[in-house]
Amino acid sequence: MDRLIKKNLNKRLHFTTNIDLSVQKADVVFITVGTPIRSNGDIDIGYVESAAYKIANNLNGYKIIVLKSTVPVGTAKHIYRIIQSKSRVTEFDLVSNPEFLREGSAVHDCLYMDRLVIGASNKIASRRLEQLYQSFYFKEVIHTNFETAEMIKYASNTFLATKISFINGIARICDQVGADVEMVAKGMGLDDRIGKKFLKAGIGFGGSCLPKDTKALIRIAETNGYDFSLLKAVIKTNLEQYKYIIEKLLLATREIEVKTIGILGLTFKPNTNDLRNAPSIPIIKKLLKLGFVIKAYDPVSIKEVKRKFSHESNISFFCDIYKTIDKCDVCMILTEWDEIRRIDLKRMLQLLNYPIIVDGRNIFDINKMESFGFSYYPIGRGQPTLGM
């Protein structure tokens, strides 16, 4: 992203706080504002609406307005009506064009799309937007109506969430029956109908999208008279995963006296500094409540996480893995950063008081860990856990 911005800044890329001028000068206007979730699961489309009013005030000729923000089904139509009723210029088209970008690989996902989804009220606008994407790579384009485009976004994200909760459920059983969830996922994923992605068992999905979109679709279903119990179970399973890893820790340490726990990785996934809905946060809160002292490591998010725990005295933060685990009784892995995968296991063994690792992301080979002398507790790899 830095490279792209530097290359194009003040040439083909301009930043401004002047919304009026930027709309007036554009042929195509993208709405990409945030759509936060309310406590009842409703999505707040206030920012999208105010963008629509600003655009309506500044329409000075035909433009295509592209709705990129993730919005409840029916929003594009609503936004179309706002612009239509508030603008003096009547020539415009609105297009719903959801994004499928992952944090940490957004530039790649933008340039190389699995699919381009365009929901529009007429074919001309739809084709024009497709033309705009001509220099991008996409396997297939779907031309459809507003509602279908909006639904594709929610259905995609919530299906990914469902896959993760499903494999986490399988992992729980694997622990009890002596099966290995990594091999189970591999065996399942080789079936093209299932696919191998998003079958990585762990401590549950976090971030700004999967948890939010799952709750939002349950709410959308509810307002349309349908009880989406499957998705409710997806959320329930997800929340149980962080409790499960704590049970694992308690099991792993039942015969020793543990005070200090090293936590490796805090962000909701690697290659981002995002802590939104990161499973590490409730896990740490619970461990502090249980009376443990925490030494936490993350390569990028320490500044942000410190603020979250500013009132806590029993937690300290580190950007160096070895300083983190030095004199810790045991350690837990909560994000699969490369820095953690590459850790010097011999040194780790020397620094920890007990050779116990509870791994919420299954990043190490069990045999290798055992040969180093670790008691290694991954998720779903055949170790019965208390409380099941």
Residues annotated as catalytic (active site), given as ranges:
209
The stretch among 40-48, 201-209, 282-290, 310-318 that binds ligand UDX (CB under 6 A) is 201-209
Task: Name the residue nearer to ligand UDX (CB basis): 119 or 206.
Answer: 206
Please state the closest distance from residue 268 (CB atom) to ligand UDX, in A: 4
Task: Name the residue nearer to ligand UDX (CB basis): 166 or 354.
Answer: 166
Contact 53, 86 (CB under 8 A): yes
Question: Mask of contacts with ligand UDX, 74-103, x by CB under 6 A?
Answer: -------------------------xxxxx
Please state the closest distance from residue 116 (CB atom) to ligand UDX, in A: 14
**Contact flag: residue 374 with ligand UDX (CB under 6 A):** no
**Contact flag: residue 198 with ligand UDX (CB under 6 A):** yes
Please state the closest distance from residue 172 (CB atom) to ligand UDX, in A: 14
Of 63, 172, 200, 295, the residue at the interface with ligand UDX (CB under 6 A) is: 200
**Contact flag: residue 345 with ligand UDX (CB under 6 A):** no
Strand partners, 37: 43
Please state the closest distance from residue 149 (CB atom) to ligand UDX, in A: 14
Q: How far apart are CA 181 and CA 154, in angstroms?
A: 27
Residues within window 122-181 making contact with ligand UDX, judged by CB under 6 A: 157, 160, 164
Residues within window 102-121 making contact with ligand UDX, judged by CB under 6 A: 102-103
Please state the closest distance from residue 16 (CB atom) to ligand UDX, in A: 26
The stretch among 123-131, 194-202, 227-235, 298-306 that binds ligand UDX (CB under 6 A) is 194-202
Strand-strand pairing, 293-297 and 315-318:
parallel
Q: How far apart are CA 4 and CA 1, in angstroms?
A: 5
The stretch among 12-20, 203-211, 246-254, 367-375 that binds ligand UDX (CB under 6 A) is 203-211
Q: How far apart are CA 385 and CA 358, in angstroms?
A: 12
Task: Name the residue nearer to ligand UDX (CB basis): 117 or 348.
Answer: 117
Nearest alpha-carbon partner for 68 in 141, 154, 168, 150: 150
CA distances from 42 to 156, 203, 222 (A): 19, 26, 10
**Contact flag: residue 206 with ligand UDX (CB under 6 A):** yes
Q: CA-CA-CA-CA torsion for 162, 168, 173, 177, nearest 10 degrees?
A: 130
Residues within window 269-328 making contact with ligand UDX, judged by CB under 6 A: 269
**Contact flag: residue 244 with ligand UDX (CB under 6 A):** no
Give me the residues that bind ligand UDX (CB under 6 A), please: 99-103, 157, 160, 164, 198-200, 202, 205-207, 209-210, 268-269
